[in-house]
Structures are given as structure tokens and as C-alpha cells.
Amino acid sequence: MTRQGSFKTRVLDIVREIPKGRTLSYKQVAELTGHPAAFRAVGNIMSKNHDPEIPCHRVVRSDGKPGGYNRGRQRKKFLLRKESVSGFE
């Protein structure tokens, strides 16, 4: 496995474990991989994710705003509200 592949796998594994109703920031995910400065890389991986088993809508910006989503920002907000994540009412 390439170094990039292992980083991507680790990101996806971390995001897969975010429970319903909870979020992590891109930076927190990067920190959990052991690469705290790689938050933009986390965002890039999330933007290309189309696996429904990976709840990438649960990864938000550090300032609490939803950030981007490959299925549209409004869809991301809808999914977060549906999971009762506060701040997205």
C-alpha cells in the first residue's frame, strides 16, 4: 500500500466511526491520522467520497460551519439536522 493510500484509508476509517449526531472537523480528522496539518487533504478525500458507508457529511469546518459536500451543501445541512446535530437547524 502506498503512503497516500494508507493516509486515505485511515481518514476513511476515522470518518466511518463518527456516530450519528456527532461531527468532527477536518482538522480533528487530520489530527487523528497523526498528520495534523493535513486537514486540506482530508477535505479533498471527503469531496471524492461516494461510498454511503462513509458519513462524510459528519465532517465540518473548525468554525462549525458545514463546509462543502459532494452532494451539495444544502443536502449536508439536511442530513446533519436529520441526525439532530445542533447548529444546523
Residue-averaged pLDDT of the chain: 92
Banded model confidence at residue 88, pLDDT cuts 50, 70, 90: confident
Encode pLDDT of 61-78 as tens digits.
Answer: 999 899 999 999 999 999
Q: Residue 31: exposed, middle, or buried by beta-carbon count in 10 A (0-12, 13-18, 19+)?
A: middle
Q: What is the rounded CA–CA span in Å between residue 73 and residue 78?
A: 9
Q: How confident is the model at residue 86 (pLDDT cuts 50, 70, 90)?
A: confident
Of 14, 38, 41, 56, the active-site residue reads: 56
Active site residue 27: no
Q: What is the mean pLDDT of residues 3-19?
A: 89
Q: Which domains does the chain have, with CATH numbers?
A: 3-82 (1.10.10.10)
Has this prediction a pTM greater than 0.75?
Answer: yes
One-letter amino acid identity for 54? Answer: I
Task: Give tens-digit pLDDT for 24-41.
Answer: 999 999 999 999 999 999
Q: Is the pLDDT of residue 57 over 60?
A: yes
- Which residues, in sequence order, are CB contacts of 23 under 8 Å at separation 6+? 58, 59, 60, 80, 85
